[in-house]
C-alpha cells in the first residue's frame, strides 16, 4: 500500500460534483457509497487524474475543471435525429427522458430526448455533464484498498 495516489493507484473516494450554478450533479455522500476508481484505466479524464495524483488518505481536495478536462465539450456529432416510428415499441418519449439505445456493436448508450417536433425526435448522446465546468469535492478514503473476493497476490 502506498501513502499517496500514484499513476496506477486504485482509489476509494467520496465525491460531490457541482455545476457552475452551485447545483449538485452527483454525490456519493447522498447514498453513503464511496466510488472506486483506478487511475490509468481510461475511465477518468486526464485532468481529473492529475488532480488526484499525490493526494493522501484522508485528504479533502476541492478543484474545478473546465469541460475539456472534465466530461468533454458537447459535440454536435453526438446529436442524432430519429423518426417517431423508431419509438413505436418503446412508447411515446418525453423531452428530458433518458433512454438506452443499442449501438452498432450491440453496446448500450444512454441518450437524452431533447426535442420532439412532428415526426422527428432529437436525441443527445453527449455525456449529461459535457460542456460544463465542474466543481469537484473529493475525499480520499483509501488507496489501493483490499477488495473482498479478490486476491491481488495470487498467481494467475
How far, in Å, CA of 87 to CA of 95, rounded? 13
Q: Are 9 and 39 in contact (CB under 8 A)?
A: yes
Positions in the chain whose pLDDT score sits under 70 = 1-2, 147-156
Q: What is the DSSP letter of 145?
A: P
How far, in Å, CA of 51 to CA of 91, rounded? 43
DSSP string covering 39-90, please?
TTSSSS-HHHHHHHTT-BTT-EEEEEE-GGGTT----GGGEEEEEGGGGTTT
Contacts of 78 (CB under 8 A, 6+ apart): 124, 125, 126, 130
pLDDT given for residue 148 in this prediction: 57
How far, in Å, CA of 111 to CA of 37, rounded? 24
| Answer CATH for 10-72+129-143 from 3.40.50.10320, 3.10.50.40, 3.50.50.60, 3.30.470.10 | 3.10.50.40
Residue 5 — φ and ψ, nearest 5°? -70, 130
Residues of the chain with CATH 2.40.10.330: 76-124
Q: Which residues are paired to 83 by β-bridges?
A: 120
Residues of the chain with CATH 3.10.50.40: 10-72+129-143
Write the burial class of residue 121 (CB in 10 Å: 0-12 exposed, 13-18 middle, 19+ buried): buried
pTM of the complete model: 0.73
Quick one: CATH architecture of 76-124? Beta Barrel (2.40)
pLDDT given for residue 27 in this prediction: 94
Task: Name the 3-class secondary structure at 156.
Answer: coil
Residue 13: Cβ within 10 Å count? 21
Amino acid at each position: 500500500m502506498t501513502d499517496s495516489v500514484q499513476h496506477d493507484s486504485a482509489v476509494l473516494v467520496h465525491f460531490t460534483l457541482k455545476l457552475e450554478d452551485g447545483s449538485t450533479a452527483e454525490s456519493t455522500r447522498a447514498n453513503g457509497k464511496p466510488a472506486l476508481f483506478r487511475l490509468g484505466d481510461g475511465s477518468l479524464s486526464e485532468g481529473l487524474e492529475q488532480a488526484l495524483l499525490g493526494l493522501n488518505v484522508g485528504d479533502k481536495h476541492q478543484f474545478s475543471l473546465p469541460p475539456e478536462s472534465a466530461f468533454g465539450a458537447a459535440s454536435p456529432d453526438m446529436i442524432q435525429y430519429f423518426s417517431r416510428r423508431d419509438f413505436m415499441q418503446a412508447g411515446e418519449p418525453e423531452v428530458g427522458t433518458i433512454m438506452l439505445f443499442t449501438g452498432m456493436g450491440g453496446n448500450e448508450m444512454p441518450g437524452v430526448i431533447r426535442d420532439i417536433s412532428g415526426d422527428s425526435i432529437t436525441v443527445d448522446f453527449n455525456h449529461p455533464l459535457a460542456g460544463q465546468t465542474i466543481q469537484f469535492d473529493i475525499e480520499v478514503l483509501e488507496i489501493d484498498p483490499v477488495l473482498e473476493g479478490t486476491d491481488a497476490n495470487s498467481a494467475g
